[in-house]
Structure 1
Amino acid sequence: MDRNDRVIKTTIIYFMGNFASKILGFILLPIYTAYLSSADYGTVDILMSALPLIAPIFTMQVTESVFRFLMTDETRDDRSKTFTNALAVFVFGLSVFAILYFPIGIFLKFQYVFLFFVYFLATYLGIFLQQVVRGLHRTVEYALSDFIFAAVNAILNIFLLIGPGLGGESLLISSIAGSLVISILMALRTKIWQYIDLKKISKEEIKKQLKFGLPLIPTQIAWWVIGLLGKYILISFHDASDNGILAVTYKFPNLIILINSIFLKAWIENVITEFEAEDRDEFFNRGLTSFTVFTVSMTACLLPAIKIYNLLTIGGEYKDAWIFVPLLMIGSSFNSLATFLGAVYTASMKTKIALITTMISALCNVVLSFVLIPLFSIWGVALSNMISFAVLYFIRIKSVGNIINLKIDFPKLIPSLLLLMITLFVYYTLNIYWQIVAAGILVLFTLYLNRNLVLHLWNYARKNIKF
């Protein structure tokens, strides 16, 4: 199987699990907005959003290092050594978290103290095991775990919100249950205990994993700053209802992240395995051009559909959420493109460069957030995020060019950029009926701009799917 087919195959597997699962959360959005007040939704969203800030410190990012090293481990002994040492670091980190958490939580008297503790442990146990399964090249099990998590989460959310009416607690309880279910299933499916060998615990292996993972701690925190600091500043200068509206608004640009993350998971695996190939630069440059055209044209294609969905299904306090979507969508597009470039840092194990580029973007976000959000509320969040992700993208273009011979085919990008500009005009000026017409036309244009990708997918399907 050639490289392109391997990328497509892995992407399809991830699509069947990840996209189908994540879209359930999007479908449930009307239920959340109907049964949760914007203040209640905003409070739980703040707690869940805090996880990416706290977790890297205590997990020491072994969730990333275990994946990276398992990907290239060739023998069972190597895999056992990698997993056992990663597990030791992971358990140690969570133990420290448990010791520190309750005194601080009880002293501060914040809401959902015990539930958040269980949510933290269950979530990162699930993430750790998912990364192990992915590193073992068990892509089907990895994708299936995402789908099972979403199904359990969705069913319990519906039951707990509509039945007992638990409110914000239902979101945490449902997520805990989903994480525990997939953790048990992944452990049983892969017989993960067979890779545990305490005799293989060594300082050298732990140092190797920490050398890769530790620079990712401030990197991950910087990502949190870029993506989530705005929520905390917003709630400080305005109120929880504004953050509730922002949480709903984020569901739409997160579609870009969701769709692209499926491909990016497959892409990074192939960049790692192909990094020493002679034609790696050509392979990467073709991928970057195609991915950029796809991301920009998909953003244009989704905007009218999002406005139609918003106007037809979301009302009450959340009815104006659509106004802020385009800036956040463009920011998410820059985010996806920067992540695409970041695959080079992972493959080359130059995580310190990933840290530097992300910190610059985070600093930009901090300054803009404190200036713009007090003045412009949700608009300030959208602007600061869009600019910060754009800064990250352009810095990474420069830095990745120092690792590989990076060449961007700019003429191929112009049609998709023009399409996005026209779509923004349509989005803000035309009524819902013209939005429907525009959505249909944009689908055709998007298919045309991505015709090579569509053709490749079609040829792959004809060769590999038998009816």
Structure 2
Amino acid sequence: MGLAKKLASQTAIYGVSSIVGRVVNFFLVPVYTARFAAAEYGIVTGLFAYVSFLNVVFTYGMETTYFRFANRPGTDRQELYDRSLTLLLLSSVALTLLLMLLARPLMGLLGLPPGHEQYAYWIAAILGLDALTALPFARLRLENKARKFAAIRLANIALNVGLNLFFIVVCPDILAGKYLPALQPLVQAIYDPTMGVGYVFISNAAASAFTLLLLGRELTDFRFRLNLEPLRPMLRYAYPIMLMGLAGMVNEMLDRILLPIWLPKNFYSGQSSLAAVGVYGACYKLSILMSLVIQAFKYAAEPFFFAQSEDKNSPRTFALVLKWFTLCCAMLFVGVSVNLDLVAKVFLRSPEYLQGLAVVPVLLLANLFLGVYWNLSVWFKLTDKTYYGTYLGFAGAILTIALNFLLIPVLGYMGSAVATLACYFMMAALCWWLGERHYPVPYPVARLLVWLLVAVGIVALSWYVPVAPGWGRYGFHALLTLGFVGLVAVVEGRRLRSI
């Protein structure tokens, strides 16, 4: 019991630090959309999509590999840490320099003319610094120092947000004379208005450097040890993890990289492809509400699934968990999609972003199916057939690339949203089909599909029934939302009470 409580406590601490980061980034969206034009925000969206991919390459599975080898009997953990961090240090320096040399071609992929290479330099610095913190953070987890891990993560988030607000909101407002005019000379000395979105990357780089300083104790006992021979088995273990990570990033982030490349010129009249990326990226953030729910659920459910695996009634339990998880996510899908005009007023502060709102329900539904897939994946985790996860991830990646190639020229960023939905639906369907053959669970599939069709129907009703803007429209949308929640409560509530 003591071990279980300790595990639950540490899971909660790690979960808070991770979820808070995503929530805070979500609440920066109103700041960015109010202060940056869509084309400027497209730079942020596009470059951070590259960061997601390159972060996998920079760390190449060494964090998980370090965990695996550190727990082998007879392992000298300090020597393992030294050798692993030496390799990561050398590779990070080499990759950072390479990325800086490729700054101009990278900016060209985003459609930016020469002269914006400094953005790539900041991105390279962020990636290099974050890669160097990967193993010290892994060491904290290995040593069960969850509180220190979370404190450093939260300090990183606080500094990043503080610098974003300082450079993007406070400094321009002071220069405009809105408040604190006495500080104008100081602001003029440290703030460059022409930097624009560059301050988003500078803030992230500064926070990453600060994090490295906070991990000083984990770095001071590091000794440079370069010997590739003992590292060979680690690299053999690590590269499949890197490939799985890249496949996951294809499904999650590739659309924001492919959109400016495959979007026809002048597809959106009067709007550049980079502006389209900015609109899509800002609207995509609204679907993260579903991702936050899924991530919070994962931290609680993953240890629960493994703990229940030996119970003879575990299949029925897993089916019940999936049912109520899906129903709760369906209610969130309806609540956000039906009331999107209100949500958008809070988070998308410039009218040019509102033209992309139609992708939000599609992306919310896509993330719902991703959550369903995660629930269904319990079968290959409990049967030690995790290679099926690799197959499903790569199948999703292939479908994502193919559909983006086919749909972006025809539907624009809606094509990317549809590709994401198709990918996650296919992965969930295949995972269920395979699970029925290897680890049967009595999931109420037909019943859940009916509920999802009802939810989609209500969202479509809210979008296509003409109601004049104003309180009447808000009331109609609130009625639809409460009606769906009430219907779920009436139909399914009796079963829940009996259980």
Q: Specify if TM > 0.5.
A: yes
> Which secondary structure does the structure 2 equivalent of 1:241 belong to?
helix
For the 8 Å contact 1:115–1:173, the answer to whether it is kept is yes
The CA distance in 2 between the partners of 1:305 and 1:86, in whole Å, is 50
Which of 181, 185, 198 is the aligned partner of 2:210? 181
> What's the counterpart of residue 61 of structure 1?
61
Which of 185, 188, 192 is the aligned partner of 2:218? 192
Is 1:326 the equivalent of 2:324? no
Which of 84, 87, 103 is the aligned partner of 2:85? 87
For the 8 Å contact 1:13–1:143, the answer to whether it is kept is yes
> What's the counterpart of residue 351 of structure 2?
316
Matches within 5 A, 1:271-420: 274=307, 277=310, 282=315, 287-311=321-345, 314=348, 315-342=350-377, 352-400=387-435, 404-410=439-445, 413=448, 416-417=451-452, 420=455
The CA distance in 1 between the partners of 2:460 and 2:140, in whole Å, is 45
Is 1:168 the equivalent of 2:202? no
Distance 1:148 1:60, change over 3 A: same
The CA distance in 2 between the partners of 1:266 and 1:195, in whole Å, is 35
Q: Give the drift of 1:289.
A: 4.3
Distance 1:433 1:11, change over 3 A: farther
> What's the counterpart of residue 434 of structure 1?
476
Deviation string, structure 1 residues 186-225 (Cα, Å, up to 9, x no partner): x35xx53598587898856x45543443123222222232
Distance 1:422 1:149, change over 3 A: farther
Q: Give the drift of 1:327.
A: 0.4
> What's the counterpart of residue 179 of structure 2?
none
> What's the counterpart of residue 35 of structure 2?
35
Q: Give the drift of 1:171.
A: 1.0
Q: Give the drift of 1:340.
A: 4.2
Unaligned runs of 5+ in 1: 456-467
Q: Which amino acid aligns with 1:103?
A: L
Is 1:125 the equivalent of 2:124? no
Distance 1:263 1:141, change over 3 A: farther
Deviation string, structure 1 residues 224-265 (Cα, Å, up to 9, x no partner): 322233223321224111111001011011221123123324
Structure 1 range deviating more: 438-447 or 19-28:
438-447
TM-score by length of 1: 0.79
Deviation string, structure 1 residues 386-443 (Cα, Å, up to 9, x no partner): 0011112222234455664444243773675355235413541462333344455666
Distance 1:90 1:200, change over 3 A: closer
Deviation string, structure 1 residues 350-398 (Cα, Å, up to 9, x no partner): 5543322111111111111111110111211111110011112222234
The CA distance in 2 between the partners of 1:178 and 1:62, in whole Å, is 22
Distance 1:328 1:90, change over 3 A: same
Which of 287, 294, 319 is the aligned partner of 1:260? 294
- Name the Cα RMSD after superposition: 4.0
Distance 1:449 1:416, change over 3 A: farther
The CA distance in 2 between the partners of 1:290 and 1:2, in whole Å, is 29
Q: Which amino acid aligns with 1:435?
A: H
The CA distance in 2 between the partners of 1:317 and 1:375, in whole Å, is 21
Q: Which amino acid aligns with 1:391?
A: M
Aligned length: 447
Q: Give the drift of 1:291.
A: 3.5
Q: Which amino acid aligns with 1:330?
A: L
Identical residues among aligned pairs (%): 17
Q: Give the drift of 1:325.
A: 0.4
> What's the counterpart of residue 260 of structure 2?
235
> What's the counterpart of residue 283 of structure 2?
249
Which of 250, 269, 272 is the aligned partner of 1:225? 250
Q: Give the drift of 1:266.
A: 4.8
Structure 1 range deviating more: 50-59 or 105-114:
105-114
> Which secondary structure does the structure 1 equivalent of 2:140 belong to?
helix
For the 8 Å contact 1:256–1:332, the answer to whether it is kept is yes
For the 8 Å contact 1:225–1:362, the answer to whether it is kept is yes
Distance 1:175 1:58, change over 3 A: closer
The CA distance in 1 between the partners of 2:238 and 2:229, in whole Å, is 15
Q: Which amino acid aligns with 1:228?
A: M
The CA distance in 1 between the partners of 2:382 and 2:144, in whole Å, is 16
Distance 1:201 1:403, change over 3 A: farther
Q: Which amino acid aligns with 2:17?
A: G
Structure 1 range deviating more: 131-140 or 55-64:
131-140
Structure 1 range deviating more: 92-101 or 255-264:
92-101
Q: Which amino acid aligns with 1:158?
A: L
Is 1:154 the equivalent of 2:196? no
> Which secondary structure does the structure 1 equivalent of 2:443 belong to?
coil
Q: Give the drift of 1:120.
A: 1.1
Q: Which amino acid aligns with 1:64?
A: T
Distance 1:25 1:113, change over 3 A: closer
For the 8 Å contact 1:161–1:170, the answer to whether it is kept is yes
TM-score by length of 2: 0.75
Deviation string, structure 1 residues 136-171 (Cα, Å, up to 9, x no partner): 444444444443332211111111112144321111
* Larger Rg over CA atoms: 2
The CA distance in 1 between the partners of 2:7 and 2:224, in whole Å, is 36
Distance 1:405 1:155, change over 3 A: same
The CA distance in 2 between the partners of 1:137 and 1:5, in whole Å, is 13
For the 8 Å contact 1:52–1:220, the answer to whether it is kept is no
Q: Which amino acid aligns with 1:433?
A: G
Q: Give the drift of 1:172.
A: 0.7
Distance 1:213 1:280, change over 3 A: farther
